A and B are shown apart, each in its own frame.
Chain A
Amino acid sequence: MAADPNGAAVFVTTLPTVLLLALAGVTALIGRVRPGLPASFHRWLSSIALVGAGAAAVITLDGLTHTRGLGLAAYAGAVVADRMGVFAVLLLCATGLVAVLTSGAASHRLGPRLPAFHALVLTATAGGTVIAVQWEMGMLVVGLGLLVISLVGLVALEKTAEAPGEVALRALAGGGVALALLLYGLAILYGATGSTDLAATAGLLVHAGPLEGLGLALTVLGLAYLVGAPPLHRWVLQVASASNGAVAGAVVSLAAAAGGIALVRVMVSGFSTSLRPWVVLAAVLGVAACLYPALLSLAAGGLRRLIGLGACLQGGLLLTALIAGGVGGDYKPAGGVTALLFALVIFVLSVQASFQAVARLDIDGIGTAFADVRGLSRRSPTTAVLLCLGLAGLAGLPPLAGFVARILIAESAVAAGYAWVGAASVVASVIYAIPAVRWMAAVLVEDDEQPAVVPEMPRLPALVGAACGVFGVAATVVAGPLLYAANQAATALR
């Protein structure tokens, strides 16, 4: 990394995080001091923060041209601004922006706590940005802690029903376990190497023994929590089942985006795929994370559970791509990180589109059981189309870009010598597609004699939700530029 004697790197690497945290504080404060302000004020304030953080990340790109694309390091290399960081910050800000713009769908459940919702989205995004630029164990834990606590807070905000509060406690417990696993893992690795620098640790772990292997395993398990991979996947299903669609969408998509970035940053960029213990564990975990939710989805009786399982499946696919983050059998890049980043964008938007459809069902008073959504296309055509786009995106059905993402993931796994993991990811996608198609048929085809529903969803969340769904299709056409951006980010890690 390029040295930075002028402090510009400090400014560049921390600007998005500082901006987000500052405006999160302002939003929370104004919400407390002036509770009568309209919800739109907080929404636009948060949006400005997220757009500003994204713009700050883009400006970083200009700075990177002077470092031949290597990146700017600050705080003795603890944080780094590189193309990967820019990509990650942009993705996180976009995810946060979708969450903020669709918050109107949850206003009836959140009530006066809407400013707190926005503030927590900003702090969760800020946590993600810390993870995106960190290069050191301490910063990683800080970022993860900020993210997990904010996400748990988001779930707990819904006080109009008992379930979300209980789920928040469970998610907090799960997040606590995940953070503990991560901390133990990092502590072991620190003990073994004497360094908290992730890149330096990788060099010292070339001949990893059983203890170091345990450290790596605990780290992987801790990070896998965020992307909803078993065994710490239950929180995704619980949030999906208990929370309002808009809240669930915000929580699950922000966690997945930050989780995917964290996995790349820590495991590929930090430890590198040459350390076999974690790669083998991630491979096994990836297979389990693909097949387990896919098999459960065959018996899913509710839409929320089906979407939750779909989100867990995406976590498995990300792990599959992660193990292909190094070179392939022919000593050329296997493309795992490129596939992961490309897939991450698609998955986040598919999850958002699906949960936005659930939010519309919530507002319109339509249930989410199989019988409730039968003939939905007659009662509420726009909700039906959005739901089908979301489900098709999660299932990776063509012509949606999720299909292309799956092919790239399978290809990178085969290229990296993990054909069996690639095969499991393909099989899991096939299995999940069957219930997804079944639900889509029930929504689109079945006759229904109930009267048409007048949509009550506010216009802005409706538009943003629809944009997420449409992007799934459009991304296939513009897959080239998106893949280029993902590849540029991945190249920064080599």
Chain B
Amino acid sequence: MSFLAQTTTTASGVTFPTLVFTALVWSALVFALVVLFLPEQTREQRARIKSLGTSGASVALFFAIWALESQIADVAVGTGGRPGGDLVEQHNWLVSFPITSTYHLDADGLGLALVTMVAVVFFCTALAAWRNDRHVKLLTVSLLTLETAALGVLVSYDWVLFLIFWTLPVVPVYLVIRAFGHGHRVRAGERYAAVILVSTALLTLAAALIAFQSGVHSFDMGGTTGLPPVSLKGSGDQVAFWLITGASLLVMAVVPLHGALLDLEEDSTGVLSVVFAAILPSLGAYALIHVAVGFFPTVGSHYSLLFAGLAVVTVVWAGLAALRADDLRRLIGHVGTVMMGVVLLGVAGHTTVSVTGIMFLLLARGLVVAVLMLLTSGIQERTRRVRISQLGGLAWQAPYLAAFWLAAALTAAGLPLLAGFSGDFLIFTGSFPAHRWATTVVLAGTLLTGGVLLRAAQRIFLGNSRDVFVRVRDVGPLEVTFLGVLLAVIVIVGVVPGHLAGLFQNGASYILFPGTS
């Protein structure tokens, strides 16, 4: 396929190759490479690096919005939310091997939902990173590399590319946890690096199995090869499905595989916890739904009960753990795990409605967890404390901080008109007919989690003002900016979910019923 095979034609008849996804993925890394060669001795030099970091994240956000809106516009003609639309990019890469590989970028509804979330969260993270003055270059380069990795996973439609992006976070995650973490940071970093590497190993074997046994002799993940759905010989379907599912569940950090991520979140500080808690598990969820279920929808529906059981265990365990958590980051980690449990219920539901709900929920989850983690960093910065039992009465000094927390807690609880509601509602509606008991328990768990967050808000912000916190300041202009951006997206998605609904529905039907138009 030639480089100019995919083109867009402007109104004036000028044709350009479509490079939106390429720009989306690589822009952050280009800025990272520039930063790599800049000095960071003086305050001005550090400020320059931070500016470049923010610019890189902004450019990626620009292209994310472009891709999203372009696909929303195509919903009316039926292609929006399904791969193979106007923005697809496919060029020859490793074609001199019996199993060929192409540079293939594309996105479905699920991918676009997460692309939007990732771009928004990284943009806000880059803004939040302005407060850091240590290892500025390392932090900026790592964040931009992580953004490229996350976006690359979401738009890769070739196994080799997908695996490259999937494994790319190993080094930056390990480096930043070593540089900025506390407590058992080395152990936490190594455990999580092992998680990523093991998941890579499982996915590599699955890719090798699929590429060979499917008979297409290609690493392509959709499009020209007619995949998905994938049909393998013998028990190949089952083996490949469970290899991918195992890798995904490891990264999603659902119970009982949640220890490594929780440790990482607890031992990290500042903006890192945002990336670890909001972004990385979402990539696992994407792999589970887009790859495992999308490639093997029949096998996925066959194990629906197992996913429902896993959802119940995850929600109950993480919900109860959240109830007794005293460390703020651990609490938010548990909240994130509960939301991943709800995602598992959506997978178990295996309906267009429940999968559409997953897309809304993953979008909301990333934003909410990011807000909560950024608030936690703000609280820790002001009070030098991160234990709930040591906090109280902060609303007297920081009322806006309390308001942001409350809004995030209500989103996590699934309050209408906030982003979390659409996801929860659609997942529960879509899953209830098939898994009544599981849906009821998970619903109760979700409400419990919302209650836990509200109770935490009461313990942190309400009560008498404490002398020790009398000099605590409220959120400043910078914090209002990045928290405001996140909250604005939460509200917009909550108030006008219909803007995205068509896109997500198309994406869901593509995942569950691949091969049908």
Q: Which residues of A contact B (CB under 8 A)?
A: 328-330, 332-335, 338-339, 392, 397-399, 403-404, 406-408, 410-415, 419, 422-423, 426-427, 429-430, 433-434, 437-438, 440-441, 444-446, 476, 479-480, 483-484, 486-488
Contacts and interface: CB of A to CB of B under 8 A. Distances in A.
B150 to A, nearest CB: 14
Contacts of A398: 163-165, 167-168
A330 B215 contact: yes
A434 B217 contact: no
Residue among B99, B138, B179, B209 having the largest count of chain A Cβ atoms under 10 Å: B99
B97 A403 contact: no
Contact of A438 (B190, B205, B208): B190
Across the A-B interface, the 6 shortest Cβ-Cβ residue pairs: A487-B96, A414-B208, A335-B98, A484-B96, A398-B164, A430-B197
B92 interface: yes
A411 B96 contact: no
Contacts of B99: 335, 411, 415
Contacts of A438: 174, 190
Nearest to B29: A399
B207 interface: yes
Given A430-B194, A479-B93, 20 more contacts: A338-B97, A338-B98, A392-B171, A397-B170, A398-B165, A403-B164, A407-B163, A407-B204, A411-B208, A411-B212, A414-B209, A415-B99, A419-B205, A430-B200, A434-B190, A437-B190, A441-B189, A446-B178, A480-B96, A488-B96
Contact of B167 (A403, A408, A444, A446): A403
22 contacts: A330-B215, A338-B97, A339-B97, A403-B164, A404-B160, A407-B160, A407-B208, A410-B204, A411-B207, A415-B99, A415-B208, A426-B204, A426-B205, A430-B197, A433-B197, A434-B190, A434-B197, A438-B190, A440-B171, A440-B175, A445-B179, A479-B93
B398 interface: no
A145 B135 CA distance: 53
B45 to A, nearest CB: 15
Given A422-B208, A445-B178, A480-B95, A430 B171 contact: no
Interface string B18-50: 000000000000000000000000000000000
Contacts of B96: 338, 480, 483-484, 486-488
B323 interface: no
B211 interface: yes
B138 A403 contact: no
B198 interface: yes
A245 to B, nearest CB: 23
Contacts of B167: 397-398, 403
Contacts of A411: 99, 207-208, 211-212, 219
A434 B160 contact: no
Contacts of B209: 414, 419
Interface in B145-182: 159-160, 163-165, 167-168, 170-171, 174-175, 178-179
A235 to B, nearest CB: 29
Contacts of B170: 397, 433, 437
Interface string B79-115: 0000000000000111111110000000000000000
Given A338-B97, A399-B164, A427-B201, A441 B175 contact: yes
Contacts of A476: 164
Contacts of A412: 98
B442 interface: no
A489 to B, nearest CB: 11
B193 interface: yes
Contacts of A422: 205, 208
A423 B217 CA distance: 19
Interface residues of B, number: 41
Given A399-B168, A430-B197, A334 B174 contact: no
A415 B212 contact: yes
Residue among B159, B160, B171, B211 having the largest count of chain A Cβ atoms under 10 Å: B171
Contact of B174 (A415, A441, A479, A487): A441
A338 B98 CA distance: 9
Interface in B192-244: 193-194, 197-198, 200-201, 204-205, 207-209, 211-212, 215, 217, 219
B98 A414 contact: no
Contacts of A339: 97
A330 B214 CA distance: 11
A423 B205 contact: yes
Contact of A437 (B160, B164, B171, B211): B171
A433 B190 CA distance: 11
A37 B4 CA distance: 57
Contacts of A434: 190, 193-194, 197
Contacts of B164: 398-399, 403-404, 476
Contacts of A328: 98, 212
Interface string B306-340: 00000000000000000000000000000000000
B194 to A, nearest CB: 6
Contacts of B200: 430
B456 to A, nearest CB: 33
A474 to B, nearest CB: 13
Contact of B94 (A334, A397, A479): A479
A488 B95 CA distance: 12
Contacts of B204: 406-407, 410, 426
Contacts of B207: 407, 411
Contacts of B97: 335, 338-339, 408, 483, 487
A334 B98 contact: yes
A387 to B, nearest CB: 13
A426 B201 contact: yes
Residue among B164, B168, B193, B201 having the largest count of chain A Cβ atoms under 10 Å: B201
Contacts of A444: 138, 175
Contacts of A399: 164, 168
Contact of A480 (B92, B138, B217): B92
Contacts of A410: 204-205, 208
Given A427-B201, A445-B138, A404 B94 contact: yes
Contacts of A479: 93-94
Nearest to B189: A441
Interface in B268-320: none
Contacts of B138: 444-445
Nearest to B95: A480
